């Protein structure tokens, strides 16, 4: 099933990314600013309300792995999200070195269209044992201003990409109670550029590229109170990164 939806799952701390941005002289950005809450297409219409208990397709691998016990046989779910961030700057009196007025324009809209895919599969192994696999991008953003904008000495392009691979397993304890567990392997790539002034007034482009891989986990439980009422509980661990890479001009 292929579905397309619009706009903007999981906690992560990106301390070194913030430090890398700070090393370029710009303000540190919190991880939540890059969060992408497009885990599936089916939950978009209700803003993912009750996603821990819905378990209506294979995307439950991400939202609550215990929900796989409600999906007999084999199941596949795939979605593509179209994300269009908007980032516009308005200069209200910035200054350059020595207090001189800032030089350059506002830079226009630094945002652009991006496709965010996600895919999930589940398998029923036995009457009580289920397995699943999810692949998605829980964090990501790209903004890019022209080299002539007034903030070019702080940032020109800021790009962050993540890929999360989430194998999971679920066990049906009884006809009304199930538990699930998943492991998350995640990779992050960051690409940050700014304009740097060299001797003699010439301009150079400074660039920091970094990446890292890290592990996390998620658990879930589901209880069927009645034929029309279901309770779901899910938790995802944080993921800590230590990005390493190159800084060059």
Q: Does the domain spanning 2-84+104-248 belong to CATH 3.40.50.720?
A: no
Look at the pTM and tell me if it is higher than 0.95: no
User: pLDDT tens per residue, the chain (249 residues)?
Assistant: 333 333 333 333 333 333 333 333 333 334 334 777 766 766 666 667 777 888 889 999 999 999 999 999 999 998 888 878 788 888 887 776 666 666 777 878 887 888 888 999 999 999 999 999 999 988 888 888 888 888 888 889 989 999 999 999 999 999 999 999 999 999 999 999 998 875 555 567 889 999 999 999 999 999 999 998 999 999 999 999 999 999 888
Closest CA to 140 of 167, 119, 158, 152: 158
In contact, 64 and 51? CB cutoff 8 Å: yes
β partners of residue 38: none
* 78 within 8 A of 117, measured Cβ to Cβ: yes
Domain residue spans in the chain? 2-84+104-248
Q: Measured between alpha carbons, how far is 153 from 148 in angstroms, rounded to an integer?
A: 10
Give the integer Cα–Cα distance in Å for 224 and 24: 52
Kind and range of the H or E run holding 191: strand 177-197
99: left (phi over 0), alpha (psi -120 to 50) or beta: left
């Amino acid at each position: 099933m292929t579905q397309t939806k619009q706009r903007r799952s999981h906690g992560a701390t990106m301390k070194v990314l913030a430090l890398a941005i700070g090393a370029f002289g710009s303000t540190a950005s919190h991880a939540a600013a890059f969060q992408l809450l497009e885990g599936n297409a089916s939950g978009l219409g209700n803003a993912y309300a009750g996603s821990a208990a819905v378990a209506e397709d294979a995307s439950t691998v991400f939202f609550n792995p215990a929900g796989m016990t409600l999906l007999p046989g084999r199941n596949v779910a795939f979605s593509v999200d179209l994300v269009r961030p908007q980032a516009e700057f308005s200069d209200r009196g910035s200054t350059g070195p020595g207090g001189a007025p800032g030089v350059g324009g506002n830079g226009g809209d630094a945002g652009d269209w991006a496709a965010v895919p996600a895919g999930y599969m589940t398998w029923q192994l036995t009457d009580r044992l289920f397995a699943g696999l999810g692949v998605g991008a829980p964090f990501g953003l790209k903004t890019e201003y022209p080299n002539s904008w007034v903030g070019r000495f702080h940032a020109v392009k800021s790009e962050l990409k993540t890929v999360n691979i989430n194998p999971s397993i679920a066990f049906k304890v009884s006809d009304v109670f199930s538990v699930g567990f998943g492991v998350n392997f995640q990779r992050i790539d960051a690409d940050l550029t700014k304009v740097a002034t060299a001797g003699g007034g010439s301009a150079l482009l400074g660039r920091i590229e970094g990446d890292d891989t890290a592990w996390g986990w998620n658990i879930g439980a589901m209880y069927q109170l009645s034929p029309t009422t279901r309770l779901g509980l899910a938790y995802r661990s944080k993921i800590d990164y230590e990005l390493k890479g190159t800084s060059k001009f």
